[in-house]
Each structure stands twice: as C-alpha cells, then as structure tokens.
A = this chain, B = another copy of it.
Amino acid sequence: MTTCHYWRLDRHPHGNTDFSQYLTLCEEVLAPLGDGEVRIAVDYLSMDAGTRMWMSPRTDGYQPPLPLGSKMVGLCLGRVCETRDPAFPEGALVRGFGQWADYATLTPSLAGLEIVDDTIADPRQHFGALGMNAWTAYVGVREVAAVKPGEWLAVSAAAGATGSLACQVGRNLGAKVVGIAGGPDKCRYLLEELGCDMAIDYRSEDVEGRLATVEGGINAFFDNVGGPILDAVLPNMAHYGRVAICGLVAGYDNDAPMPGPARFDQILMRRLRVEGFFIPDFLERGAEFMPQLRQWMDEGKLSTRFDETQGLEHVLVAYERMLTGKNIGKAIVKL
C-alpha cells in the first residue's frame, strides 16, 4: 500500500499570503486506478498564478471553482508509475494537470496529459522554454499582440515565468522590448539576461512617464497584471496598437472583480485592439509551436531561470513567493 501526500483546499483564501490557513497537507492510501486513469510519480510542480482563481468561489472565471475539500489542482511533471491507458506506458515522462501531490492521479484527456521529450538535458525546461508559459508567450506576442519587426513591445510582470519568455519571443521576432518589473534585481535581469532594450521598475519609477519617452509609442503590449500598470500603458500606446490580455493577476486575489482600466477611453481614442486569450484554448496547436521554441532554446535564444523550492511541504511558500512577485523566472517545486 502506497501513501499519497497532497494539499487539500479547505477554505477560500483571501489575499495572496498565509495560504496555510486555507489549505492542509493530507495523506491517504492510494486507491486502485479507475478505467483509463494514469498515475504519475511527480518530480516537479509548476506554480501558476492562474490557479489562484480556482481557489476562489467566483463562478465567472475561466473554469468553475474547485469545490472545497478537493485536492488542489496544478501542472505536474513526472513519470507514469501506474497506468490504465496504453497511450501512457509506465516510465514515460509526462506533463499535465494533476494535483499538488507526490502522486497525481488523472484522466489523460481531461488533464491535457502528454508525453514529453525525455532526452533534453534539463527536464525542467518542460516548464520553461518548452512549457505552457512559453506557448503562452509565443501565442500572445506573435498572434494576439501581433508584434512586427522594429515595433515596440511592452511586457508586464516581465521577470516572471511567462513575461521573461514573452520578452525573449519579442526580441527573437525583431521587436524592441520594454520590460516592466518590480525591483532593481529584476530590471537587471531584463537588461542583462533577456536582452530588453529598456526596463522599468514600477516600484521606484513613474511607469507612465518613462513609457512616454518611447518614440512613436508602444505598438504591442503583453499584459499579465492589469490594474495600475495597464492604466500606465494605455495612454502610451501607439495608434492601432494591440494589447494581449494574458492575465489580470492584480485582481485574482479579490472576491469581487477588479475595476476596469481608468484609461479605457484610450481604446477608442487610439483605435486599440484589446484581446483576452487563454492558453489551454491553444493546446492542440502545441506541436506547431514546439519546433520554433525548441530551435530558439537550442540556439540559446530562449532561456528560463528557475525559482526552485524543495519539497511538497513547502508548496505554499513557493506559491506565495510567486503570487507576491518574489521569484525571478519560473517558480517550481521539486519533490
């Protein structure tokens, strides 16, 4: 009999700290697999801001709220250790939406489970340059924000997992990139490692004022946060600019929706296109994105820094670090 350890959602959290008030580390004896199910011995958990909304009781988000008493859902990387689906044989390296647990049990079609390349040097790249954050960056920058060579791309939460990849995708597509992040360490990372042309520290600088110095305005904006940063960018967009709304992290910890941008009128005045997108809608196109991402990774033009925490018992610490922006790069937990 194998024991599984997992995090259970007991109460709806308020804010982005002290998650131990709301989730409990539990254990249970693993039940036999149901028909078609697969079990993964989890090596790494991905910490994603989007999962914060699953903890909320709001019913108007991406997906229905997670019922209280459920195992918390999250993206897992690991090896199949038990299987009742022949497409996922024992030992295969896989990635999909499982649980915050040392053993994740799932139905492949519901979990977006897929077998990933077992030959790359650092398997963590399946949460990095080859992962969902990279697809998000690629789709958002290339298709939604539709940046063209020579244009200016702005990226918020630019030192985070998705933002850092969005900066690099923009640069690789020939855009000039301005990254917006909090603190001098992150801004140094943007300029020295990610090749940004400009970095703005929103904690100490006047974002709107600095963006106003961008000649011709911002043509494309990849936004992860909404709120005051979006307000600072909108009046600095070039006419006919495109805004890709990837996330509204500034509002995920609220029980009520965050108010809309104070400068919404600029969408009309500057004839902007603002579009929300959700990467699971694009999962079927992963095979189309991967060759480009893989090539950039192999050429050293798409890198991810990992903010790695050790041990399932420290998941909440890692999650809080990520939600409060203490991480640089991709926040993961190694089990």
Name A residues whose Cβ lies closer than 8 Å to a Cβ of B. Answer: 60-62, 226, 235, 245-248, 251, 257-278, 281
Contact = CB atoms under 8 A, between A and B. Distances in A.
A276 B270 contact: yes
B257 A259 contact: no
Contact of A268 (B247, B263, B264, B270): B247
A260 B264 contact: yes
A264 B275 contact: no
A262 B261 CA distance: 9
A272 B276 contact: yes
A281 B240 CA distance: 11
B267 A245 contact: yes
A257 B263 contact: yes
Given A245-B268, A257-B265, A260-B264, 18 more contacts: A60-B266, A247-B268, A248-B264, A251-B265, A257-B264, A257-B266, A258-B264, A259-B262, A260-B262, A260-B263, A261-B264, A264-B264, A271-B275, A271-B276, A271-B277, A271-B278, A272-B276, A273-B276
A15 B62 CA distance: 39
Contacts of A272: 275-276
A275 B247 CA distance: 18
A274 B275 contact: yes
Interface residues of A: mostly helix, strand, loop or mixed? loop
Contact of A61 (B245, B264, B269, B273): B269
A321 to B, nearest CB: 23
B274 A267 contact: yes
Contact of A276 (B235, B245, B261, B268): B268
11 contacts: A61-B269, A62-B269, A226-B264, A248-B264, A248-B265, A257-B263, A260-B261, A260-B263, A272-B275, A273-B274, A274-B274
A276 B259 CA distance: 19
3 tightest Cβ-Cβ pairs between the two chains A and B: A260-B260, A260-B264, A268-B276
A102 to B, nearest CB: 32
A114 to B, nearest CB: 22
Nearest to A254: B265
